[in-house]
Structure 1
Amino acid sequence: MKIILSTLNAKYIHTNLALRYLKAYSQDSHDIDITEYTIKDPIMNIVSDLHTKKPDILGFSCYIWNIQETIDVIKMLKKIHPNLFIVLGGPEVTYDTADWMQKLPEVDGIVVGEGEETFKQLLDTLHAEGDLENVDGLAYRDEHGEVRMNPKRQKVNLKEVPSPYRFEEDKQELGKRISYIETSRGCPFSCQFCLSSIEVGVRYFDKEKIKEDIMYLMENGAKVLKFVDRTFNISRSYAMDMFQFIIDNHLPGTVFQFEITADIMRPEVIEFLNENAPAGLIRFEIGVQSTNDYTNELVQRKQNFSKLSRTVSMVKEGGKIVQHLDLIAGLPEEDYASFRQTFNDVFAFEVEELQLGFLKLLRGTGLRVQREQFGYIHMDKPPYEILGNNVLTFDEIIRIKQVEDVLEKYWNDHRMDHTIRYLVHNVFETPFDFFQSFGSYWEERGWSRIGHQLEDLFRRLHEFLSTEKPINLTVVQDLMKYDYLKSMKHKPRKPWWGEQWSKKEKSMLLKYVEEHPHMLGESFSSRNLSEKDLHKHTIIEQLSFDLHTYLTSGQLVHQETFMLIHYDQKTNDNHLFTFEADETLQAIKITE
């Protein structure tokens, strides 16, 4: 039999771990090929490629992000190859399985839940032309076309599952894709919006084998290793052992990402990481979701925000670990005002990434079952995102989506951190109010439907602020200039705000800097830059406040200063220097 396992990943950089588990578990008895595509690939191209491979059995791994495209592929393939045995698996089809079988007559079977043993037994049975009714964990069609649901299968012993990372054909792609690591299955919590809450208890793989796999992946070029455990730090001793292993054995340039529960993280663990982990080695993904206690109670989510805050703050102070915090808009009884508070509570941490998502009523989750209780309306098709509930209207959801749009562009991409911090602390009442006001303006101008260069983002923020209530736009613009220039590796040809100096003024100013380098400090004077170097590799701007004081203390001192940024071509980096404007202006007699 020619057996192919396939899926449509969300992006090329993703790899499907489930398919590799299935292959590893069955490869002693069956020859299996893995073929991955993306949801952006044309359906005809996918069908054509699979057709040329001539499979007898074709399995697809199904999720909310790929199920619609997968269905299109299946329907087309079945028309071409009516005798092709098509089997599905994955979280999207594990729940409401009988319904999926009824809706998709092209599908011959669905593996429910964990698939390693079920899939292997299915292949064994098909190879022997046996009866599928003996394959536990399988939904199938009998000889009359009737859908049959076999009993559920017992959980596999994870310590006996072979490594899914050792396939020769994967080696060349390891450096280009994310490598997903699974050290456990299950979750100790019962959050009613999450599929992980359905599986009771936590089971672990063999820790020493996992360590061997991590070494193998790194030695073969893997750079990003993402742990998919739902709560990596549920066992303090287990997490500490793995952290120590990674610190001791990591290779340069490797990044490890963990999903942790912050309010159960012990301070001594964070202290250990702050003291021993190299900067940039570890990333934490932390699901906050909501700071509304009643909302968390309704979804059976236990969260101590005080302890969570302690963890996030300690990690941030350590400066070693990048943090990604998640929020979910649309949870039960969290109205617009409550979500505004949640957003402000969490944005106050000012971590590297804040992801704003929207509740999805996933098949199999408690909230989907209880949706009528909270007045939920939602998309009929994946991703089943909510359209409203008893306390949140669709209009309010649209407004929060406007927040999400500019949050991604202006905070998570870190294009102008100093500007945004100044705005949310000194201009707008709260961070949410800034992002909401700007997001609404962004949508009104139609900018959400067009592309943006970096300069466009600065111009558009400046345009928005020009229409807002009276603010010190000069200070904001100066901060925007600093953020823009510091983000560059090379001197920009034409800054977004236009030239501040005439050619004569610029030449006079740079000539003065060349003759008096000491006023910019020893670090600058030691560079021995000629006037030609200054013209070619520096940019200088006059500011309305003392930038150095602001950057070091946060204090805004209104005093005209100069900002000079040198773009070092040897190191491909830039360096900031500031100096007072008064004597320079007097010396070179620049007129207004």
Structure 2
Amino acid sequence: MAEKRLMQNGKPSGEHDLAEKRLVQFVDFPACNADVPLTLPYATSSLRAYAESFADIRAAFDFAPTIVLRDRFEAMAERIGRPDLLALSCYVWNFNASMALAAEVKRRSPQTIVVIGGPHPKYGDDTVFAAHPAVDALIQGEGEVTFLAVLRSIAATGRLAAVDGITVRDPDDGTIRVSQHRAKAGDLSAMPSPYTIGLMDGPLVDLRGQSVGVAATLESNRGCPFQCTFCDWGSLGSKMAEFPIERVFADIDWIAENGIETLWMADSNFGMRKRDRDIAIYLAEAHLRTGYPRRLIASTSKNSSRAVLEVVRPLAQTPMFRGLTLSFQSHSDSALRGIKRQNIKHSTFFELLEDARSSGTSTYTDMILGLPEETLDSFKAGLTIAIEGDPQGVLIVFRCVLLPNAELASAEDRKRFGLRTAWLPMTDPPDLDPRYTETYEFVVGTDAMPEQDWREAVEYAWLVLLLHTFRLGQPVLLLLRQVVGLDFVDIFDSMLGFLRRRPDSVLGAQLQLVQHATARFIACRDPSNLPPTDQVPWRADPDAAARITRAKLAVHHDQCAAELTMLAVAVAKAFGHTIETEVRDDLFVMLQQTTYRPVAAGERVLDFATDLPGVLAAAAAGEKRSITHRPSRYRLMCTETVSAAGFQARINDYADRCDGLEPFDLCLEAERLAG
């Protein structure tokens, strides 16, 4: 019906007689970065699915196809025409674009009522209305029931009333009124799935034409029992509610059978509910049956336990599962109190890692740089705990982002912790239209970690991630920590000192790029005056900096191996230890032969003057052994050919990726030979 009304008698869709149905237009722009899959419009489609389940709404309204793909604002506004209601779902990746489109539609159609919602607009804050005159109302929190009330208000009077759960601009005098809070829906069984009733079919066709793939959102429950102040999940309340398991299974079937590449699990703590194992089994079976989804991204329970490990075990047997999240954010008691978070004990953390390893379940640990009450020393100590616990694991460091509805972004917390922030543009705008550029606010200093300490923390995290997570120098770390016996903090501090004094080295030059990027980033104080997206200092992000460095250094693989070897010797010497010549030479061979570079598939036999490879392999498994001067021989089988052209293409792709956790290594199999 809505599709037929897009053009009537040469008139845009909003120009209709009073006897006709009123028209609703949803806008739900997905995140728009070069390699991020475009996500189907789950939020707005859920609102529509619930609203259309009522006969009075079906009788009073038509719904135009949801706008998901960005285009020129004028062209989109022309297509939209003059709807009675324009509803936009907003988050950090689309807020500015949504506001620009709302302004253009309102300019052409002043009578159109503009309603916004989603996690981004600040609840109870009337500044959004002053900054964006086109906005008439803001839905606060969960949207289905409130949006239904909004529609009924418009159907009854043609005007927007102050129904519960919204902040509204009075249409007569412009006064901003905050209505009564609306309680969360305790029973989710009445909410139809937008997947199984066909509301995603049209958007799927639209997104299929793009080159980055399609993602879908799966929601099995709502709410979060935790109140971490850096997160806006808690703003929706701690009370948990579940969707019927039959609906969840049906959604999984739709996602798998429609070939959706990426699945975003929207549960705040997947693995916490008893039935989550049933969901995991069903999802794994759907993947094995269809090959989809190819990738699962889930936020597993904040306080992971053996029970959570059992829940995700079926998923761990499939290639779509990237690993069990062991989220710590910080290992500092002061920082944890500052963000109202309690972690599992370190002893439990180490036991979980061992259980995961023994069961073949991959894990990764994440931390956040810039949390209140975190000092430079406690941040370094936290990274040490993470890599001590899992020498072969994956560690990720995120920068602290201030989300509008998170408690940490409040004026009270900003003052209490002395938060200093900087801004960056984060979206690639089509045709370089600046109205498409989204901005993120990052913490770059606190009373506990002044800006200079924050900059040093970025450098420190960059080196940790480069050598540990991205595997550039893992043999060096194992040698210095497990064999020589140095503390990780001493190792990384000493390495950074050497690199700062050697800017002419390939590693030192990369450190300088990180330093320059952090200086440029900290200077970005004004969100209205930021560098264009093609000049963003990405290396101010430790993870991005390490990923880019890992790719760039592949071109200098032999020189990099030599520098890492000499760095190991220099660090050991600084603490009164000697790495013997034979060990040094064997370390260089290990680094050189395992670094990603052009190579032909086949077998090579490597001779070592010592048993260093075996000692480091044992160290990675937690076994400490001394190096002996007993010659050893290894057969190294490379199972893929890396051409020169393929090598360069992989470097370029890896450096540009938003997610660099995939391995950047040769496909090698090593076997110790007798003798």
Q: TM-score over 0.5 for the alignment?
A: yes
What SS is found at the alignment partner of 1:371?
Answer: helix
1:100 shift after superposition: 0.9
CA–CA distance in 2 between the matches of 1:206 and 1:214? Answer: 13
Deviates more, 1:349-358 or 1:66-75: 66-75
1:336 shift after superposition: 0.8
TM-score (norm 1): 0.76
Q: Partner amino acid for 1:33?
A: P
Q: Please, which runs of 5 or more residues in structure 2 have no aligned partner? A: 1-22, 425-438, 501-507, 518-536, 540-547, 574-578, 620-624, 643-665
Alpha-carbon RMSD: 3.8
1:3 shift after superposition: 1.0
Q: 1:52 to 1:422 in 2, by over 3 A?
A: farther
- Map 1:530-569; keep pairs closer than 5 Å: 537-538=602-603, 543-546=608-611, 549-550=614-615, 552-554=617-619, 555=625, 556-559=627-630, 564-568=635-639
- From 293, 300, 304, give the equivalent of 2:340: 300
- Map 1:137-176; keep pairs closer than 5 Å: 137-141=165-169, 142-156=171-185, 157-166=187-196, 167-171=200-204, 176=213
Q: Partner amino acid for 2:372?
A: P
Task: Confirm or deny: 8 A CA contact 1:109 1:138 kept in the other structure.
Answer: yes
Q: Partner amino acid for 1:159?
A: S
1:176 shift after superposition: 2.7
- From 366, 389, 403, give the equivalent of 2:446: 389
Partner of 2:593: 482
Q: Partner amino acid for 2:50?
A: Y
Task: Confirm or deny: 8 A CA contact 2:217 2:263 kept in the other structure.
Answer: yes
CA–CA distance in 2 between the matches of 1:574 and 1:343? Answer: 28
What SS is found at the alignment partner of 1:383?
Answer: strand
1:324 shift after superposition: 2.7
Partner of 2:44: 19
Deviates more, 1:368-377 or 1:241-250: 241-250
Q: Deviation string for 1:93-145 (max 9, x for gaps)?
A: 14243121122112222221111222333344445553312433222322233
CA–CA distance in 2 between the matches of 1:409 and 1:83? Answer: 55
CA–CA distance in 2 between the matches of 1:153 and 1:410? Answer: 50
Q: Partner amino acid for 1:549?
A: G
Partner of 1:357: 398
CA–CA distance in 2 between the matches of 1:271 and 1:76? Answer: 51
- Map 1:410-489; keep pairs closer than 5 Å: 410-414=467-471, 417-422=474-479, 425=482, 429-432=486-489, 434=491, 437-438=495-496, 441=508, 444-446=511-513, 452-453=551-552, 455-456=554-555, 458=557, 459-460=559-560, 462-463=562-563, 466=566, 468-469=570-571, 470=573, 473-484=584-595
Task: Confirm or deny: 8 A CA contact 1:298 1:332 kept in the other structure.
Answer: yes
Q: Deviation string for 1:156-204 (max 9, x for gaps)?
A: 3322111133422355668933332111111112223322233131111
Q: 1:409 to 1:129 in 2, by over 3 A?
A: farther
- From 114, 133, 148, give the equivalent of 1:86: 114
Q: Which has the larger radius of gyration?
A: 1
2:144 pairs with 1:116: yes
Q: 1:46 to 1:101 in 2, by over 3 A?
A: same
What SS is found at the alignment partner of 1:328?
Answer: strand
Task: Confirm or deny: 8 A CA contact 2:309 2:324 kept in the other structure.
Answer: no
CA–CA distance in 2 between the matches of 1:311 and 1:33? Answer: 51
1:210 shift after superposition: 0.5
CA–CA distance in 1 between the matches of 2:640 and 2:418? Answer: 60
2:317 pairs with 1:278: yes
1:540 shift after superposition: 5.7
1:397 shift after superposition: 0.9
Q: 1:401 to 1:36 in 2, by over 3 A?
A: farther
What SS is found at the alignment partner of 1:4?
Answer: strand
Task: Confirm or deny: 8 A CA contact 2:139 2:146 kept in the other structure.
Answer: yes
Q: 1:71 to 1:542 in 2, by over 3 A?
A: farther
CA–CA distance in 1 between the matches of 2:618 and 2:310? Answer: 26
Larger relative contact order (Cα-Cα within 8 Å, sequence gap ≥ 6): 2
- Map 1:64-463; keep pairs closer than 5 Å: 64-75=92-103, 78-79=106-107, 82=110, 84-126=112-154, 129-141=157-169, 142-156=171-185, 157-166=187-196, 167-171=200-204, 176-198=213-235, 199-235=237-273, 237-251=274-288, 253=291, 254-261=294-301, 263=303, 265=305, 267=306, 270=309, 278=317, 280=319, 282=321, 283-306=323-346, 308-310=348-350, 312-350=352-390, 352-367=393-408, 368=410, 369-379=412-422, 383-414=440-471, 417-422=474-479, 425=482, 429-432=486-489, 434=491, 437-438=495-496, 441=508, 444-446=511-513, 452-453=551-552, 455-456=554-555, 458=557, 459-460=559-560, 462-463=562-563
Q: Partner amino acid for 1:36?
A: V
Q: Please, which runs of 5 or more residues in structure 1 have no aligned partner? A: 493-535, 582-592
1:287 shift after superposition: 2.0
Q: Partner amino acid for 1:48?
A: A
1:465 shift after superposition: 5.7
Q: 1:72 to 1:168 in 2, by over 3 A?
A: closer
TM-score (norm 2): 0.68
What SS is found at the alignment partner of 2:441?
Answer: coil
